[in-house]
Amino acid sequence: MSFLYPQILWFLIPLALFAFQKSTISHLPFHPSIILASARSKRAMHLLIAALILIALARPVIQKSVDTTYDAQPLYIALDLSASMRAQDLTPDRLTKAKETIHALIDQAQRRIGLIAFSANPLIIAPPTYDKTVLHQALDAIEPRYILTKSTNIQKVLDFASRFGPSVDLAIFSDGGEEQDLLKPSNITLFSVATATPSGALIPKDGGYLTHEGHLVVSRLNPAFLALADQALQIHEAAKILDSRPHQTQKEQQTTYIELFVAPLFLAALLYLLVHTSLLERLKKFWPLLLILQLHASIIEEISIQRAYDLYMAKEYDKSAQIFAKLPYQEARFGLARSLMKMGKYKEALKILSSIKSKDPRKKGIIYLNQGICYQKMGRFDQAKMSFAKAAQLKEPKALGRLKTIIFEKNQKKQPLPFSRQKKITTKKIKGDNKKGGASSNLQSALLAGNAKGGKKSRQKGVTKGQGMPLSSKVYEIINKGYIHEKRPW
């Protein structure tokens, strides 16, 4: 055993000196021996209580050493999302083939993986983690149709990844763009995964092919991208070679502490009660009765919970809330939150739901679902979307339908970034119609929120794919930064 703050124990020395100091009492109305005996007894107990409190403040602990082995550096995977990744020289296309390969790599990996998405700008979409479910969902959540930057900037990815640590393993899935003067930072071990063919292919666009200055654009594998790498890999062998590459592991001895301050603190409180109250003596007499009362109280609380549920089912939410509020159980707190939601008190219900903690995935899914409903009713659609997404990931059956609804409602309230200019132009055209009524304006806003290929149905399909949480619009804003200045947008 040791102490985290041993310097506090120095205060025991003056306490010990004070304990041996002789007490003198003069002019006593009663016999001195009686008074001194009582005073010395209380004084000794007080000094002992003070000593126990000082020991508790010194934080007594038991040290426990644990050897842990972990990978010294994770593997970062960067995925190119430029327009050229739609080319079909790989089956079915470059982007889909790259995603399939990365999914296989995640399944086989025994080390932490981090994911980076990039076109003209890079962004980390999943920090290094062992959680394969999170990585799969983050990869499936990427929607290239929301990315306005269409060019490829390998140099920005290299500079971005070089800040992750003194030594970085980076695998880039890309066709290499058209950059020739690439510089690799010295702290990066680069794996260039060829996600294209030397012969190349045309880039599909709106039912045809991408053109530049009247000529068809052919996207080919950039040899400079492969020459830059420490190891150049073909797409069909990338998962096997990357995962089998030996990576550094590191052992570390971690020290954990088992806190013991509760023991002297509890003993000090017990001694204080013994000196200044008769509570302990009374508890000795009524201890069996207290056990019986505790059992009786639990039976009464069970009956109260059932009564509250009956009132809730009878739509008497005010009365059920009053009963739930008096019960200390987690189930009662959830019942109170549901009653408040039925009464329209969503802010109070949300506060209660946020305080409920559970390790059961089913219960957590239900809590997230109800939090999302509260956010939705309060008009806070971003928080509602996040809550419904978490509930959907925990297999809550009603969450996915709610998520589709909230995305549609949010898009009616606020137009997504890619269509903000289109909305402004269309508003000018239908300015005369707005004077006749607001119905046509609302319909136009709803139509603009969808894409040209499918509107509402297309959006719903994008949400359900992978059963994961869609990326926030803030993510796409970062990737889309500077898209209007692109000279060769592929």
Q: For the segment 187-221, what is each residue's pLDDT rounded down to a tens digit?
A: 999 999 999 999 999 988 888 888 877 788 888 99
Residue 200 placed within a domain: yes
Q: Are residues 232 and 124 in the same domain?
A: yes
Residue 87 placed within a domain: yes
Q: Are residues 96 and 238 in the same domain?
A: yes
Highest mean pLDDT among 19-28, 154-163, 253-262, 449-458: 154-163
Q: Are residues 117 and 225 in the same domain?
A: yes
- Rounded average pLDDT over 482-487: 52
Q: Are residues 51 and 124 in the same domain?
A: no
Largest CA distance in the chain: 118
SS3 219: strand
- Rounded average pLDDT over 445-470: 41
Residue 440 placed within a domain: no
Question: What's the whole-number average pLDDT of the chain?
Answer: 76
* Across 270-274, 318-322, 324-328, 403-407, least confident range: 403-407
Q: Are residues 41 and 183 in the same domain?
A: no
Residue 283 placed within a domain: no
pTM across the whole model: 0.44
Residue 129 placed within a domain: yes
- Which stretches within 23-93 are classed as H helix? 32-57
Beta strands in 57-184 (DSSP E): 60-71, 75-80, 113-118, 122-129, 168-174
Highest mean pLDDT among 101-105, 353-357, 414-418: 101-105
Q: Which pLDDT value is given to residue 98?
A: 93
**What is d(CA 204, CA 84) in angstroms, rounded to the nearest whole number?**
9
Q: How confident is the model at residue 96 (pLDDT cuts 50, 70, 90)?
A: very high
Q: Which pLDDT value is given to residue 1?
A: 81
- Give residue 234's identity as a one-letter amino acid code: Q
**What is d(CA 408, CA 377) in angstroms, rounded to the nearest whole number?**
14
Q: Are residues 26 and 130 in the same domain?
A: no
**What is d(CA 146, CA 475) in angstroms, rounded to the nearest whole number?**
10
Q: How confident is the model at residue 388 (pLDDT cuts 50, 70, 90)?
A: confident
Q: How confident is the model at residue 403 (pLDDT cuts 50, 70, 90)?
A: confident
Residue 264: give the domain boundaries: 2-58+257-277
Q: How confident is the model at residue 235 (pLDDT cuts 50, 70, 90)?
A: confident
Q: Are residues 185 and 269 in the same domain?
A: no
State yes or no: pLDDT of 25 exceeds 90. Answer: no
Q: What is the CATH number of the domain that holds 109?
A: 3.40.50.410
On whether the CB atoms of residues 231 and 194 are closer than 8 A, the answer is no
Domains held by the chain: number: 2
- Rounded average pLDDT over 320-330: 83
Q: Which pLDDT value is given to residue 206?
A: 81
Q: How confident is the model at residue 135 (pLDDT cuts 50, 70, 90)?
A: very high
Q: Which pLDDT value is given to residue 489?
A: 58
- Rounded average pLDDT over 410-435: 45
Q: Are residues 82 and 220 in the same domain?
A: yes
Could you tell me whether strands 113-118 and 75-80 are parallel, antiparallel, or unpaired per DSSP bridges? parallel
Could you tell me whether strands 122-129 and 113-118 are parallel, antiparallel, or unpaired per DSSP bridges? antiparallel
* Across 110-119, 287-296, 373-382, least confident range: 287-296
Q: Are residues 114 and 200 in the same domain?
A: yes
Q: How confident is the model at residue 455 (pLDDT cuts 50, 70, 90)?
A: very low
State yes or no: pLDDT of 27 exceeds 60. Answer: no
* Across 55-59, 252-256, 362-366, 376-380, least confident range: 252-256
Residue 374 placed within a domain: no
State yes or no: pLDDT of 431 exceeds 90. Answer: no
Q: Are residues 135 and 52 in the same domain?
A: no
Q: Which pLDDT value is given to residue 22?
A: 58
Q: Are residues 190 and 164 in the same domain?
A: yes
Q: Are residues 151 and 235 in the same domain?
A: yes
Neighbouring CB atoms inside 10 A of 348's CB total 16
Q: Which pLDDT value is given to residue 172?
A: 94
How many C-alpha atoms does 245 have within 13 Å on its Cβ side? 23
Residue 75 placed within a domain: yes
Structure tokens at 235: 């797409």
485 backbone dihedrals φ, ψ, rounded to 5°: -100, 5
Residue 229 placed within a domain: yes
State yes or no: pLDDT of 137 exceeds 70. Answer: yes
